[in-house]
Amino acid sequence: MDDTSKTAAGGCMCGAVRYEAVGDPLSTIYCHCTSCRKHTGAPVVALVGFKQAQVTFTPADRKIYQSSPGVGRGFCDQCGTPLTWEGDGGEHGPLIEILINTLDDPEAFIPQCHIHHAEKMSWFETDDTLPRYRVWHDDGDEPYL
Ligand SMILES: [Zn+2]
Ligand SMILES: [Zn+2]
């Protein structure tokens, strides 16, 4: 079960939005999807996923942009920092995936696989041996590289 002694804190660039995630994460991933790349302006995004109930925002809440049906992208409306992917986690219920580099200690979570690798930028590659999934590892997808 969740280890409530573990807390991961972070926030946006200006400090208006802070968050805390309590307990163990469900996943730590690199996402190469077009939507994550557009939201962040980065060639790839590192995300750590928690059940929605594990994450609290304070003092200000994040704003949510609905990027597709059922999927929200959290950000700070003061400084524009992208913060989260939020959506349905299937058996886990609502999920909040936090952009790892908004954590106070981004070294605390290390991505374990690449998802939506089929959408990867042709000029971008990482020097690792992690499994690469065309789409998403929870959908019965097998690594193809
Ligand atoms: Zn901010
Ligand atoms: Zn993505």
Q: How confident is the model at residue 4 (pLDDT cuts 50, 70, 90)?
A: low
pLDDT in tens, 24-78: 999 999 999 999 999 999 999 999 999 999 999 999 999 999 999 999 999 999 9
pTM equals 0.92
Closest ligand relative to 97 C-alpha: 2
Per-residue burial over 54-70, b if 16 or more Cβ lie within 10 Å, else e, is bbebeebebeeeebeee
Closest ligand relative to 63 C-alpha: 1
Q: Answer whether 72's CB lies under 8 Å from 87's CB.
A: yes
Domains and CATH numbers, the chain: 7-139 (2.170.150.70)
Burial, 73: exposed, middle or buried (Cβ in 10 Å; 0-12, 13-18, 19+)? buried
What is the distance in A from the centroid of ligand 2 to the CA of 70?
14
